[in-house]
Structure 1
């Protein structure tokens, strides 16, 4: 439980409670078994990134001797590091218990995850062959020597530390790197109706005698370890380097960043643990965490399905958007009316189709788009290259500093640049996080703009599992403003004024304060006053304080926050009128939606921005107004469906206990399933 010691919940501790909600999904017996394993993987992957970024940041504050209270919600950095480690150890312990329970349930389904001591005779030949043909050629084995410095351990890679007791009481240590190129889960031949899986870790343990057959040892053992390094990028000041070169060098340097976490198998003997920590220069002040037999449980995200659809969520078939056809010109359709695509309920194909149409249309003169994260194989990128080859002026603002996607974005940037695309590499001091596209088309000897603006990345892969809104529009008011943002990318010493959209870093806080002040004035005047917010995270203390002010004035505030929430709801005299829930379910809730009553004439925005300091002050973000009456109603309906969720909604309160929202009716409402039915019913009504 996270203790409240002032008006804010510490963001790091709040994030850990979010990850605890992910772990709740792994524990939920109503979630299909293999999906539960995959939630274990998501929990572990989240934790890796947390240590690389947030824990590393707090550690830097502590090492700088700043204490960090002003940055960390009233908690000293050293105390926070200690508290984080305590919580993580407890969460790790819980996750191991959940994993064991899932594996027991899998046995009941004739799926056996075995270790090296449980290998059956029928599998010996297969494993031996697999080791020599698939594993041994790619194996990296490092013999450790007292007189030789320990080789640099890769960030987040898993290693087996091998200890051999040789004759004359000599200890010989070695490291085996578990390469990412190896399949973590080796599916063995079925025996009857039973399926068998062995982790590559245990296959290596089984094969130790083959790996180390040149050593004359009396005993041999292997335990897993993992080190996590600071994931912050540090840029040098060499003016002769291009921005791409600086990013490339920083990504390479990240691989040798300072250790921020060392996780080891809790059964590892003290002698070996001490040897390793001395070799790696790790002391007890660092986050040294005893764990289970297996690390890098993020790999469970790709646990094999074994053809068992009954142990997976049913795949949904993405729906078409009512009256927006992939078989007709999207330009013609949206020239008359705005349309909203809500992935993954709707197909992402609309975005690719629109860009492909623009690439081929002789009347299209230019395409401008922002890119933050692309799919590994991106049809968006190929469409833009196609457009450039067809003589369109294509401008892409790509964010090379998209965390952990830097290398992929550099590769795409170089590829597009080689094909004639005009590449813009962000704005000095700011990340470009806005999600938008403006297309200029010549019609009747005049230029008319078309485009889209979104809450999420233009990424085919994540669009299958992230919920996001994308507005397709030919509204010249909005598109004129969006075009100014692209002008800002090219001439960023000039600050533009916008009549319709809300932009960071120059206007977001001021504009949002104005919208909240309007609700405060209406509440004081006895008029309708409410605010409904849906986003990923809420950590800006300025925004929190403003919502506290609105609450004290009588404005009713409902918030759906998936992740970090530094605001404390339901506190008498401070936040009586604020309620907050969090939904963690099959899809990752990624939509950002702001609804202001405006005395029953709602003002509604979709946005790329969360209410975090970084999104408000340090990034280029766009919040787009919704003017279409039908879409405004749709977004209000979607928010209300999410708010009524009584299956996957957790209550966020000052106790931070992640309690589930209790149903006030007999009907179970699971928002993500209800939303799919909502769109399906819309189609059925239109076809009737």
Structure 2
């Protein structure tokens, strides 16, 4: 099947439709009010990263030459135009939702977000005092001069573009920039009055106190409009894996702050002559201008304080314990007898911490090998590894320095680990190591035994509270022997391959997936029931999509659960009539990757760190691992079945891209994330 003929949704456009689903959560009246504000923050944060990375890449492609369409199969300039149109529509929905709905709902709860014009004398005095004591020394304006070069704005920082003028004499006005401090709380809770709660944003505190900043100037009118610049965040790296690479990466991180401007978000109330000044001085294009509201960096609203009822947030739910896996006994001894599955955040991430802590102090443990991609700020994983090294264990730790936006943190952790005696591996040249694997080598009765911890998500105790992932604890030799080969290759800085029991990218996983899909095609042609169920974050690889279309045309029933971008178009006659796709966006971030193949009644199941994207299949070291234990296979299957029946938070992915809510034959309300918690709670 020719890739040029198959129906595909452009990946960037598909991603924007995913972010629209996040916006739907903010609009959902069934979602607690403070959580709706947080979904607005997630939408905004997602969009920032989208511009820093995806739009930046498209802009580079568009600037190559006129043959871009021929080379890439689409016209980057046309896609950039579509992106801008969609983003402007979404920003309008966003602003309307916040200003006309969320703010009013807060008022109904007796919570008021005040701006600088709504302060009475008492609250104004409180704000002035706060500003002079906490803020004034951190706020230094940059006075602009038409004869001087415009200072470079920092990526994603909020600025006020200020004009000081005499009444009716803007031509003689003074212009200035004020950077809003990043190290200050964005929200100030004001004194309560008659059970009414008041909050003011840092932005409006500065607006209220502009006269304290510009007191030396003679003016009648002062105007201040917020702007935010998003820059190209892609890195130009020396690929050599060495100390030289770390130096190169550190320099590139500094360059990121001064990357090419991708988007200027500006207050729509800004006068046209002021906007024109910015465009001219910053050499911006029309396509990079995005009208917005008076508040930018809305991602900070993820920390919006709940000063009202507890019911305005989702109730805190205690993580569940895994049946028969006790903290009071040796985890390694229990794992030696059977496999265990931990489904976070429903179940406690502490099991992973205790697995490493036990390995760190167990006299029988000789060696620990682990790959790390994203870590918590105060990582207990790192502490366990350091303590293992101090206890005389040999610890091999591969820290992926190219984990986007975590590069600086991972440089810090790698140096800290080295200082403590850990053998730090800096990855495989030309590839990101995205796998989430850990292997413990233990001597038992003079015999070497291995214990493994493999996951679909990061070894990160912070994100484990909100990311839905699965982690397998096993001593199964079919899996541990494969991991021994993987780590042996990584320690030699070479790509692992030829490992039969594991699905390892970048060499083998694509071939293995094709083999399993082809087997389902063969079964369908023999009238043997054939099906495929895939769950992942993103589906974008065109060859894989073509293979799934081929399976659909052969009669294979395919069900997909895809949270983010999906370039496959389901339900298209002659291509994808047997394919259904849903996307679940809810309280937790669906992050697990699960591949299931019917296999003529002997179902095959893999968990993996990999999405079906070209980068995961061909340019990253990923590890997929089979589930052999019958009880665990059934548990994962039950969880998948609950998700397929979700008729509350699941949306259909279809050719219309309308994010229609998924309806099922089940008359009962099924909200998979809540029902999965109940399911796991009832297990004995």
Alpha-carbon displacement from aligned partner over 1:297-333 (angstroms, at most 9, x marks no partner): 1111111122531100011110000111112111010
Q: Is the 2:645–2:666 Cα contact (8 Å) retained in structure 1?
A: no
Counterparts in 2 of 1:537 and 1:217: CA distance versus 1, 3 Å: same
Q: Please list every run of at least 4 consecutive aligned residues from structure 1 whose deviation after the TM superposition is greater than 4 angstroms.
A: 166-169, 236-241
- Tell me if 1:557 matches 2:558: yes
- 1:288-299 to 2 correspondences below 5 Å: 288-299=289-300
Query: In structure 2, how many angstroms separate the alpha carbons of the residues matched to 1:111 and 1:663?
Result: 38
1:186 Cα deviation from its structure 2 partner: 1.1
Write the mapping of 1:160-559 to structure 2, written as runs, cut at 5 A.
160-166=160-166, 169-236=171-238, 242-284=244-286, 286-306=287-307, 308-493=309-494, 496-559=497-560
Q: Shift of residue 69 of structure 1?
A: 3.2
Q: What is the aligned partner in structure 2 of residue 624 from structure 1?
A: 625
Taking only aligned residues, the RMSD between alpha carbons, in angstroms, comes to 1.5
Partner of 1:99: 98
* Corresponding residue number in structure 1 for 2:38: 38
Cα offset for 1:239?
9.9
What residue is the counterpart of 1:78 in the other structure?
77
Q: Cα deviations across residues 44-86 of structure 1 (Å, max 9, x unaligned)?
A: 00000000000000000001115543676x4311111111001
For 1:116, what is the secondary structure of its paired residue? coil
Paired with 2:426 and 2:241, the residues of 1 have a C-alpha distance of 16
> How many pairs are equivalent?
678
1:9 aligns with 2:16: no
Comparing 451-460 with 307-316, greater Cα deviation is found at 307-316
Separation in 2 of the partners of 1:237 and 1:598? 41
Distance in 2 (CA, whole Å) between partners of 1:318 and 1:670 is 18
Deviations 1:454-489 (Å, cap 9, x if unpaired)? 000000100000000000000112011112111111
1:140 aligned counterpart, secondary structure: coil
Structure 1 gaps, min length 5? none
Q: C-alpha displacement at 1:494, in angstroms?
A: 6.6
1:653-668 equivalence runs, <5 A: 653-668=654-669
Deviations 1:529-567 (A, max 9, x none): 100010000000011000000000000000000001000
The TM-score, its normalising length taken from structure 1, stands at 0.97
Local SS of the residue matching 2:141? strand
Q: Indicate the larger mover: 658-667 or 401-410.
A: 658-667
- C-alpha deviation, 1:360, in angstroms: 0.5
Measured against aligned partners, the alpha-carbon deviations of 1:333-363 in whole angstroms (never above 9, x if no partner) come to 0001000000000000000001000110111
Contact 1:243 1:425 in 2 (8 A): no
Post-superposition offset of 1:277: 1.3
Q: Distance in 1 between matches of 2:89 and 2:29?
A: 21
* Alpha-carbon distance in structure 2 between the residues aligned to 1:241 and 1:468: 33
SS of equivalent residue, structure 1 residue 170:
strand
The 2-side partners of 1:634 and 1:71 are apart by 45
Check conservation: 1:67, 1:77, Cα contact below 8 A: no
The answer as to whether partners of 1:535 and 1:593 remain within 8 angstroms in 2 is yes
Structure 2 unaligned regions, length at least 5? none
The DSSP-based 3-state class of the residue aligned with 2:599 is: coil
Deviates most, 138-147 or 634-643? 138-147
* CA gap 1:560/1:68 in 2 versus in 1, 3 angstroms: farther
Secondary structure in 2 matching 1:220: strand
**1:30-69 alignment runs, 5 A limit:** 30-65=30-65, 67-69=67-69
What is the alpha-carbon distance in structure 2 between the residues aligned to residue 457 and residue 274 of structure 1? 45
For 2:495 and 2:202, how far apart are their aligned partners in 1? Answer: 56
Match of residue 588 from structure 2: 587
How far apart, in 2, do the equivalents of 1:611 and 1:240 lie?
A: 30
1:67 touches 1:78 (CA, 8 Å); kept in 2? no
TM-score, normalised to structure 2, is: 0.97
1-side partners of 2:240 and 2:369: how far apart? 30
How far apart, CA to CA, are the structure 1 residues paired with 2:116 and 2:629? Answer: 62
Task: Judge conservation of contact 1:14–1:566 (CA < 8 Å) in 2.
Answer: yes
* Most deviating of 123-132 and 219-228: 123-132
* 1:293 CA drift (Å): 1.2
